[in-house]
Each structure stands twice: as structure tokens, then as C-alpha cells.
Structure 1
Amino acid sequence: MEGTFWSLLPPLVMILLVLLTRRVLLSLGTGIIIGALMVENYDLLATLERIWMSFQGSFYAEGAWDIWSIQLVVFLLLLGILIAFLTATGGAKAFGGWAVNRVKSRKGAQYTTGLLGVAIFIDDYFNSLTIGQVSRPITDRQNVSRAKLAYLIDSTSAPVTVLTPISSWGAYIIGIISTVIATHELSDYSALGAFIQMIPYNFYAIAAIALVFLAIYFKLDIGAMKKHEERAETTGDLIDPANPDVPGDIKGEVAENQNGRVYHLLLPLLALLITTMTVMVITGVQASEDGVTLVSIFANTDVNLALVTGGTLAVLLSVLLYAVQPGDKSNIFVVTWQGIKAMLPAIYILILAWMIVSIIGAIGTDQYLVGLVEEANLSPAYLPLMIFLVAGVTAFATGTSWGTFALMLPIAGEMAVELDPTMVIPALSAVLAGSVFGDHCSPISDTSVLSSTGAGSNHIDHIVTQIPYALIAAVTALLGYITLAITTSAVLSLIVTLGALLGLVLILKR
């Protein structure tokens, strides 16, 4: 069953259960069990061992600790503690009161979030978690649903980082592209130059960002999002009462100090921002062996170490501000525990997502999907279109953009060289576009999990409400790739993509 059509069964069962039951932990667990049974030919003892190894392998494998995973979990715990103290000091409430006098409309609150999402492009994790903390007090005051906030965060974080060479994503992609160029001796390209040329062909990422601002301007609330927004506007319930469990939500367990000031929120968040960026630069410089450039810094930086360092300093500062604050206060250890407890659902989802990604990798789901591209007998002009679709399905099923990049960029480059070397840049860009699209729709995407966490939204509510917008952007991207196949013009194809996007928005709004 490995590497065959049946390898699609575990992710399909998991996704179907998510949509039917809305119980993400149950659905992920079921997918893991089915996948492990298939990998081990239904041997129960071997299946149990496979499940355990998929868990252990998330943190310890081949005789070494997986520092990356451990640091991400530690940062999420630190973030939960930070949220609790920002609430306990009254800083979040004070910032919301300050912002409501300056951001005076629901559209203004959403524009602020969208613009921050575009401006903070260094890393998708950092984007998702930081913007949520800054924007949540503003959008909460304007009765913007948490599902809408999660959409605004998620649909700017990955698209902007995949379009920016000076980001953790850009550096990672450039590193893979350099291997493709060297393998096929493409002397006409440099890795950075190729990445920059790929930007206008990334129709989905561009459309997704544009759709965020069009949706705000036209108040385009469709599907499940309309219910969330109408409920938030009319009742003030920002979270669906039927799905009250959300990561990062303190649920009134922490009393807000009435002496809170705006600086109680801003100083810890500035400490997080400045420290994280500083450590990213330092670790990137230290690891750049072949000369220091902006691209080399982001290619070699240790993002999770930077997040943990910044999170630790931000938490210590918030605890200090709380300790010296006058007025009635809860016990510091109680506040800390409430912050940890609020973040546990996100950590459970993330760990199970890592486990099912491991199982899916063992059963060969990604290899089967990529094999479809290799076996397809198609015109070179339609190669980017085909790659976009397969990359989207692969990222959706596996929950990882980066894994799809690593798998499909070399294959897309090889196929383009063999079929038509002029299609190298569009084919590589189509991998990026499809990967982000699949990532936006996947309930096991770590970026989507962290966007839910940053926004304080129920994770499945976020996925269900975001999918229609992702599909709109994907349809317009498909039209762009069809236009590219017919005309070979990147400019005209991009115009068709954005024109079709505006047209669809206007039709749906009516």
C-alpha cells in the first residue's frame, strides 16, 4: 500500500472526520492509527511501536534530541504565560481602550491586522503569534470574530514570507533552488535572481494577500465566516459558544488589574520583537561560513532559538511589571499555570500533527502524489498548472509547505529542464504557490495551528472559515496559470489573476 493510491486513506479519513465531528484530536488520532496499521501490515504490536516512535521521533531520534521541536513547544508555553500576564496586568485591556480611540471601526481594526501581517515578513511563526497578541485587543474591541482574525493572520503570514527573499522561508527556498541550479547546470540563473524572477509567477500568494484587503473593503463574509461575523457583531460573542475551547484563551481565570497601563502590554511585546530579531541576526551571522549577506543570515538563522530567547525575556519583564504593580493581584504561580493550561490544546494538536506527518511520510503519500506529475504526459506550457495542483494536494495531505518545497522543487526543476527550459522559473514558482494553498486548507498545518493560537480561535473554526477564501484565490491562480500556458506572459497572467479575483469578489458580494 505504500506509495499507492491507498496511501491517501489516512489523511482523507482524518480530514473527513475533522469536518464531520469538528474534534481535531480525535480525528488526528484516528488518522495516526489507520496509517500506522497500514505501514505495519496490521500487526498490532508493530503498530503500537510505530505510533510510539512517531511521537518519540518528534523530540528524540537517531540518538539526538530534536532541539527545533522542543524549542517550539517551549516557546508556545512561554507565549501562554506571556498572554496570562498581559491579561493580569491589565495591559491588554488598557491597550484595547487606547486603540479604540484611534482605530474607530471594524474595518480599521482588520486593516491594521492585515498591514501588520504584510509588514512582519521575517518568519511565519513569528508573524502568526506576534500579530495575534498585538491585534487581538483591537479587533476584540470592534467585535471582530476570532475566526476572522485568524484568517487575516494566516492569509498574510505564509504568503508574504514565501514572496520575500529576506525571510526564513525565502532563505530556505533559495537554498533548495541553488541545488536545482547546480544539478542541472543552469548557468543563466543565480539562486537569488531565480527567486526574485519567481515572485510574479506566484499567483496564489499574491491573490491571497490581495483577497485579505478586498474582503475587508467589501465586507466579504462568506460561508461559515458570515455566521461568525454576524454573531460577533450582534451579540459580542467572538468565539462560537458551541466550540468554546480555544488555545491561548484565559477564559476569565485571571483577574485583570485595574491599574493596567498600555506599557504593560507594549514593553513585553517590544522585548519579544527586538530580542527575537536580534538573536535571529546573531545566529545567522555566526552560521554564515561563506560570507555574510542578508540572504545568508536568514538562511542560517535559528528561528526557534530566537523565539525562545525573546519569549523568555518578554515573560520575565511581564512578571516583573506585574510584581511591582499596585492593586489586587493573583498569585504569580497561579497566573503562570493558567497561561500554560491555556496553551496545552495548541501543543496537543501540534504534536499529533507532527505524528501524522511522520506516518504519512512512512506510507508514501507524498511520493504517490509526486509520481502523478512525473507520469503525466502533458504539454510543457501546462506544467506550472499541473505542478500547482499536485503541490496543493501534497501540502494539504501532509500539512507542510516546507516538506512540499523540498520534495517538489527538484522534481519541478528536472521536468522543466527536460520538457522546456524556459518553464523553469514558472514551474518552480508553481510549487511555492500550490504549497501555500494546500497549507492554508490543511487542518494539520503547523502555520494554521499557530495562527489559530495567535488569534485565540478554535482551530477547526479557523480552517473551515478560511477554506472558501483559499479556494477563491486558488481558482484565480488557476486562471492565471491557464493564461500563462496560452500566452507565456507573466504580466498578462498576473493581470488575469487579479482581475478574476476582483470579479469573483464583486459577484460573491452581490
Structure 2
Amino acid sequence: MKNKNILSVVLIVLLFVLVAFLTPDVPDGETPQFGWLSILPPLLAIALAFITKQVLLSLFLGVFIGSVMLNGGNIFYGFLRTLDNFVINSVADSWNAAILVFTLSIGGMIGVIGKMGGTKAIAEALAKKAKTVRSAQIVTWLMGIIVFFDDYANTLIVGPTMRPLTDKLKISREKLAYIVDSTAAPVTGMALISTWIGYEIGLIKDAYESLGIKANIYEVFVNTIPYRFYSIFALLLVFIIAFKLKDFGPMYKAEKRARLTGKVLADDAKPMASDEITKMELKEGIKLRASNAIVPILTLIIVAFIGLWYNGYTYSEGINWYDIRTCFGNADASVVLVWASIVASIVAIVMAISQKILSLGEALESWVDGSKSLLITCIILVLAWSLGSVTSSVGTADFLVKVVSDKLPSGLLPIIVFLISCVVAFATGTSWGTMAIVIPLALPLANSYILAGTGASNLLIATLSAVLTGSIFGDHCSPISDTTIMSSMASASDHIDHVKTQIPYSLTAAGIAILGYIIVGIFKLSPIVSLIVGAALLVGIVHFFGKSTAEEDLLLEANESAE
């Protein structure tokens, strides 16, 4: 390990020296063109995160090297600009600041709920319904689908709520994080009413208008859903794995460890939630009530739902109050989530005091302890946002798109666009940024095939869908994605362990999605055919390549190995 760390330091130093020499001088007022160098910031961050398991350092160095590139190879100015142009500006952004407040407030609410015994009570209540490993995983999956309106809210509600139960049943934190992550962005991105819909519809509207195409944009959005193969297959794969109790790859090892030893975390794991939440002790004699968790969580959901409607209606002109879809689409989700988390925190504190479980001072102390547990997550989020800003500035996504988007047969377009979106989203850690970059490039290309008579009538929808769902691949499993980070935090999982165990499943869903686009792109068949074929293949893959994680099967295997 010591030699590995020394080697990493030497390579990083050499890399910075190399960048300092190779970075071209950019005249004032001109946009820098870095070519292959543009992939260095995200590549360095991702590689170091896997090698060293030091996420903070890896993200910071990714931002740092990008800033050095933008400052003509000057390491001193690059360091200063890392702090002021990227880190500070990321915190100063109103959306990002609101998400930080929301995250800390959710942590505070969870802290109070935990101190009241609400988390333990709801876990025990769920345990009566979900008494097995299979049912617990399916219930977690269902909860992730039910909380459909926002991916951040999804991860921060489902993870902490289900964690006590999954721990009790010896389900690994890696598996919990995977289920939470797989029912966040994949669900929210397709939901008919969500915090994503306004952004997606806005991008579609701009692209269609630039092409001179008149269409009902919401209808276009709905039409893309059957073609969002990755999102659908990712959700389906979770259910199949949970129902069949089979896993493969690193996840199988994690589940085997948890089931046989009771260790829900690896020995060297560094969970992203601290002891303030994960090991909060209860007062003696407290009567456990599930309502002490359910009421604040329902308050969070209801206030968020009503707030999205109110915010979208109040701050947009010409919208009818009953047009809920449009109101949601135009709402500022970051502000609304702050409203919801603060109100839910107040409700939790009032409940604790009114039941004489906690004094006012104890309730506030519990709220602060809960917030403290998410401080590391907030730091990582800031660095992830900073890295996203750097990759945008050095033109990472633009370079990747240009490299692979030259002349293509029309039938291959959705496949190539899907792959481009996956790579860009994984490298940059942002699905929204990927959508904004790739949609304006991909849709005109698809439309040109249609106008020339060489593309199928559904090519535009298939290509658009490929961007929207390919973008979620990166948001779903990139180690520098905020949603992936928050899933690790909400599940109190080691972040890199979460990424390592999830990637094989994400790649499986992505591979089946590519087959889906072959069916609709090359063979020009209905997306329903792709969905049926894909579902059958997923069942087959899990059945034939997965290994049972039922405790009795693992014990039998262990005994046979011992003999």
C-alpha cells in the first residue's frame, strides 16, 4: 500500500509537469482547444478515486489540473483559480447552495427521527412485512419508485429509512446503495411529473424549434419513455436480482461477506455517513412509534409536492394553477427542497418535544449531529460540481462528441449517440450537462437523415431518448456524480465500494440497451419488441451468471469449500 501511494504521488507530479509543458498558450478572448488533454481532469479524478480510495483528494486534483490547463500551464495561478473560480463559485451558485442546505437539513431531520426511535420503529414495522432478504430488497425497490418526483429526495429518504432493516437482515451496504441509486435518476428522469421534466422539456423545445419542427413538446417527452431502454432495464434488473436472490461480480462478494459474517461493510470501508446517524443511541424507556419517522417523511414529500406546484405557478406567467405538469416543470426544485426539509425538520423537533422524548436543547443537538454526519458529503458535492465546471471549461464533452460523431449510417445513430452520452456523462458526472451538450448536436443529425429519406420516422424520438437515458448512465454510476455520491451517503456505504459493485450491473443494463437500439434502429421494429427481448435477456443473465446469495446456499458452498 505504501509503495502504491508513493507511485501515485510520483505519477501525479509528473502529470502536472507534463501538463505545464503541453498546455497551449491561449490569446485573450479566444476559446482554448485542448484536444486529448481535455479528458485529463475527469480521467485523473476517476482513476485516483479507484486507486487511492481518497475521493476528496482525487476530486480536488481533477479540478486543480483542469485549472492549470486553463491558466496556460501555470501551476501557481492554477491553484488560486481552483479555489476562487471553481470551488467558491460552486458554493456561490444559488442552486448548489440550496442543495447543500437541503442535504444538511435532511441529515438534521434524520438525526432527530433517529433519536426519537422513529427509524428503528419503522424498520421493525417493515420487518414484519419484509422478514426476508428478498422481501426487504423488493420493498426498498418499491419505495424508490414511489418517491419519484426528485432524485435527491429519493436517495435521502429511501436510504436512511431502509438502512436499519437491511442491516438487520445482513444485506450489504453496497447492495442498499445500488438499489437506492438505481431508483433515483432512472425513475425521476422518466416520471411524468418531476423536478427533471421542466429541464428535459426545455431542451427538447429548444432543439425542435431550432429545427423548425412544430410539436406538442410534452407529448414528445412521453413518446420517448418506451425508448429509454437503459433507465427501464436498470430498474428491471434491480427487481430481478432481488426476486431471484442472485448476484454476480463484486456485488456477490459483498453480499456473501454480509450474509456469512454479518459485516454490512468491508473491513477497510469508509462509510459516507458518520456515527452521529449510523450509531445513534436511544434513551431508555422510549416507546418506539413508526409515526415518529413516517410523519416527518410524509411531511417532506407532501411539502415538496405542493411546493413544486406553488413555486412553478407563482414564478411563471400564463400558467393555470391546475396544470400541475407545467407547474412542476417550471419550479425551482432546489428552493422547494429546502422548504420541504426545513418544515419536515421542524415537524420532527415538535413531535420529539411534544412527546417529551427530547427537550428543546436535545432536539436541536440531535438535529446538529445529524447535519454534521453529512458534512463530508457536502464537501464532496462541492468538489464534484467544481470538477463539472472545469470539464465544461476545458471542453471535455465537446471533444468526446466530435471524436465519435462523424458520418454514420442512420440505423446506428441512436446506438452511437447512446454510447457518446454514456461516456460524456460518466466522464463529467452530470446527466443534465450531458443532455445540454449532446441534444443540440444529435437531433439535427437525426433530422437530416429523415429529411434525406434515409432515416426511419421514429429516428428523431429514438435518438432523443438515447441521449436522455444515456446521460443517466453516467449520473447513475460515475464516481464523481452527485447522485452517486448521495446514494453512498444515504446508505452509509463506502463510496468507491458502491461504484465498484454497481458498475457491472450498470454495464449489463447498458449492453442490453444497446441491443434495444439495434432492434429499433437497424431492424426498425417497435420499442416494445426491444423491451420484451431485453427483459428476457436480463432474466437469463441473472439466472445463468448470477450466484445465489441465500444464506443457506452460501453456508453450503462454504462447507463444501472447507471440505
TM superposition score normalised by structure 1: 0.94
Residue 47 (str. 1) matches residue 47 (str. 2): no
Provide the residue aligned with 1:146 in structure 2. 173
Q: Paired residue for 1:63? A: none
Give the match for residue 22 of structure 1.
53
Deviation at 1:145, TM superposition (A): 1.7
Contact 2:114 2:277 in 1 (8 A): no
Structure 1 residues without counterparts, runs of 5 or longer: 61-65
Alignment of 1:160 with 2:198, yes or no, is no
The reply on whether 1:473 has 2:509 as its aligned counterpart is: yes
Q: CA deviation at 1:327?
A: 6.3
The answer to whether the 8 A contact 2:148-2:154 is kept is yes
1:216-235 matched pairs, under 5 angstroms: 216-235=242-261
Determine the structure 2 residue equivalent to 1:335. Answer: 366
Counterpart CA distance in 2 for 1:441 and 1:327 is 40
Q: 2:533 aligns with which of 491, 496, 504?
A: 496
Q: What is the CA distance between 1:480 and its match in structure 2?
A: 1.4
How much has 1:3 moved relative to structure 2? Answer: 4.4
Asked if 2 retains the 8 angstrom alpha-carbon contact of 1:248 and 1:453, the reply is no
Whichever residue aligns with residue 385 of structure 1, its letter is: I
The number of equivalent residue pairs is 503
Q: Equivalent residue of 2:73, what SS?
A: coil
Give the whole-Å Cα distance in 2 for the aligned partners of 1:454 and 1:93. 16
Q: 2:523 aligns with which of 477, 487, 499?
A: 487
Q: Give the structure 1 partner of residue 553 of structure 2.
A: none
Moved more, 75-84 or 321-330: 321-330
Q: Which residue number corresponds to residue 336 of structure 2?
A: 306
Secondary structure at 1:322 match in 2: helix
Residue 419 of structure 1 and its aligned partner are, at CA, apart by 2.1
* Mapped partners of 1:331, 1:494: distance in 2: 52
**Ranges of 4+ aligned residues in structure 1 off by more than 6 Å:** 327-330
Distance 1:20 1:390 in 2: 25
Among candidates 131, 153, 178, match of residue 104 of structure 1: 131
- Decide which of 287, 308, 311 is 1:280's aligned counterpart: 308
SS at match of 1:487: coil
1:59 aligned counterpart, secondary structure = helix
Alpha carbons 1:254, 1:335 under 8 Å: kept: no
Q: How does 1:290-305 map to 2 (within 5 A)?
A: 290-292=318-320, 293-305=323-335
The whole-number CA distance in structure 2 between the counterparts of 1:168 and 1:252 is 29
Distance 2:494 2:53 in 1: 10
Counterpart CA distance in 2 for 1:257 and 1:268 is 20
1:373 offset after TM fit, Å? 4.2
Q: What is the CA-CA distance between 1:122 and the residue it aligns to?
A: 1.1
Whole-angstrom distance in 2 between the partners of 1:363 and 1:22: 25
Question: Offset at 1:141?
Answer: 2.7
Q: Is the 8 A contact 1:395 1:401 kept in 2?
A: yes
**Which one of 304, 307, 317 corresponds to residue 289 of structure 1?**
317
Residue by residue, what CA displacement relative to the aligned partner does 1:368-425 show, whole Å, maximum 9, x if unpaired? 0121244x11101110000000110000011000011111112111111112353111
TM-score w.r.t. the length of structure 2 is 0.85
Helix, strand or coil at the partner of 2:273: coil
| Residues 1:327 and 1:505: Cα distance change in structure 2 (over 3 Å) | closer
Comparing 33-42 with 423-432, which one deviates more in the overlay? 33-42
1:263 maps to which of 291, 312, 315: 291
C-alpha distance after superposition, 1:54-82 (max 9, x if no partner): 0121133xxxxx22111111111111211
Going from structure 1 to structure 2, the CA distance change for 1:264 and 1:414 (only over 3 Å counts) comes to same
The amino acid of 1:351's aligned partner reads V
Distance 1:395 1:321 in 2: 42
Q: Unpaired segments of 5 or more residues in structure 2?
A: 1-22, 24-32, 452-456, 548-563
Equivalent in the alignment of 1:236:
262
| Alpha-carbon distance, 1:139 to partner | 2.1
Provide the residue aligned with 1:205 in structure 2. Answer: 231
Q: Which residue does 1:438 correspond to in 2?
A: 474
1:284–1:297 contact (8 Å) kept in structure 2? yes
Q: Distance in 2 between matches of 1:234 and 1:249?
A: 24
Match of 2:546 in 1: 509
Aligned counterparts of 2:291 and 2:192: Cα–Cα separation in 1: 33
Superposition deviation, residue 117 in structure 1:
1.4
Per mean C-alpha deviation after superposition, the further-off stretch among 16-25 and 449-458 is 449-458
Report the Cα offset of residue 316 of structure 1.
Answer: 1.7
% identical aligned pairs: 37
